[in-house]
Structure 1
């Protein structure tokens, strides 16, 4: 392991806006994000596979009346967003280091008000379907932690993953698709995201890829 990566891990340990294994709060944060961590009742917004945290930090700047949590398993990645949020004094931004498969251990049922799935690994091989972040396995997990009718946003450059997701949702009576487009930046909703783009989003667009976007929520049983 490189020296720079080790230094980042040490900083994550010291930075209070990073919740990760080894810290006492990691074991007790479930159901307590608003009261214990952010100390307010503002809506809780979670970004999955946040990487360097550009989108989480960007949303935190734009919406001081909401709380934002970027989730990723790579400590060296979330270090960047954590350091940026600290430098800018963003008290409404946090990072959770955990596997997405274990979200229910860090969020209580109904605790999350809004969720973002931004440019996940498309997992194109059939044998990897269960690893896709829009597969039935993960949808059940989101349904558990989402507030009733809490909205979920999905952005990808990958046509195959988007086709898979759209077709899957069409067979799910418990899912209502609110918005859908295969070219987000040519859509009527582009201005609502205030130009906040991740590093990967910029790379995809530079290659001429259109950004696909879908917003949905779970319908009450």
Structure 2
């Protein structure tokens, strides 16, 4: 392991905006994000596969009266968002270091108000469908964590993953599809995201890839 990573991991251990294994709060956080981590009753917004946390931190800047949690397993990536939030004094941001498959261990029923799935690994092989973050397996996990009427947002550059997800959502009786586009930056929702982009989004956009976006909520 490189010295740089070791330094970053050490800083994650010390930074209170990172919730990870080895910290006392890690085992107590489920159902207690507002009480133990944020010390307020503001709505909780979660970004999955947050990477370096550009989107999580960007949303937190725009919405100071909401709490934002970025989830990723890579500690060296989380370090970037964590450090940025600390340097800017942003108090409504936290990062959870865990595998997304274990998400239900950390969020109680109805604890999340809004969920973002941003540029996840597409897992294009048919045999890897269950690993896609928009697959039925994951939808069943997200559903109870969301408050009634809570919105799920999905952004990707990958046409195959987007079309797979769109077809799946349209076929489910418990999903209310609120809108979708194959060209986000030419859509009516472009300004709603305040120009916030992840590293991958910038990279794909610069290559000429169209960004796909949809949003939905689960029916009660």
Which residue does the alignment assign to 1:39? 39
Q: CA deviation at 1:78?
A: 0.2
Which residue does the alignment assign to 1:207? 207
Q: For the residues of structure 2 that align with 1:158 and 1:30, how far apart are their CA atoms?
A: 32
Which residue does the alignment assign to 2:29? 29
Q: For the residues of structure 2 that align with 1:204 and 1:159, how far apart are their CA atoms?
A: 12
Which residue does the alignment assign to 2:125? 125
Say if 2:203 is the partner of 1:217.
no
Taking the TM superposition and a 5 Å limit, the aligned residue runs for 1:5-84 are 5-84=5-84
Taking the TM superposition and a 5 Å limit, the aligned residue runs for 1:81-160 are 81-160=81-160
Which residue does the alignment assign to 2:179? 179
Q: Deviations over 1:45-80 (max 9, x none)?
A: 000000000000000111101000000000010000
Gaps of 5+ in 2: none
Q: Deviations over 1:158-189 (max 9, x none)?
A: 00001100111121000001011111110111
Q: CA deviation at 1:18?
A: 0.2
1:113 aligns to what SS in structure 2?
strand
- TM-score for both structures, normalised by structure 2: 0.99
Q: CA deviation at 1:36?
A: 1.6
Q: CA deviation at 1:14?
A: 0.2
Taking the TM superposition and a 5 Å limit, the aligned residue runs for 1:184-195 are 184-195=184-195
Runs of 4+ in 1 over 6 A off after TM superposition: none
- TM-score for both structures, normalised by structure 1: 0.99
Q: For the residues of structure 1 that align with 2:105 and 2:142, how far apart are their CA atoms?
A: 12
Which residue does the alignment assign to 2:163? 163
Q: Deviations over 1:178-218 (max 9, x none)?
A: 01111111011100100000110000001111110000000
Q: CA deviation at 1:35?
A: 1.5
2:203 aligns to what SS in structure 1?
helix
1:176 aligns to what SS in structure 2?
strand
Q: For the residues of structure 2 that align with 1:181 and 1:85, how far apart are their CA atoms?
A: 31
